Amino acid sequence: MGDRIPDVSARVATPGAQVTASEEHGRVVLVRTRYGPTRRVLARLLRLPTTLTVRLDELGSAAWRLLDGKRTVAEVRVQLELQFPGQSDLSARLGRFIGQMVSRGFVRLG
């Protein structure tokens, strides 16, 4: 009953405010601060990493470039289907990608 994954296809995905994206060898690299200001000071003192970095694969990079705060997740999927024809698991991969990006604070759903 409560194990059903919510359908976010009609929601708009927007990059998080504290996320910096760059390109590396044609792939997107995302970086965001890991902690708030107080914990960040403590992390520095303990020599812990204060940022979280994610290097996206080809499909993730293409999806990230489409997250403009205007397109719905369904519209992103349609665009990805045009870029990657014949990819049978595209919807599932996009769903996992959006879920991971939201849970790690890289994407907000509106």
Q: What is the pLDDT of residues 47-73, one digit of tens each?
A: 999 999 999 999 999 999 999 999 999
Q: What is the pTM of this model?
A: 0.86
Asked if pLDDT for residue 8 goes beyond 60, the answer is yes
CA angle, corner 105, sides to 103 and 107, nearest 5? 95
Consecutive H or E run containing 20: strand 19-24
Asked if pLDDT for residue 88 goes beyond 50, the answer is yes
Average pLDDT of 1-10?
68
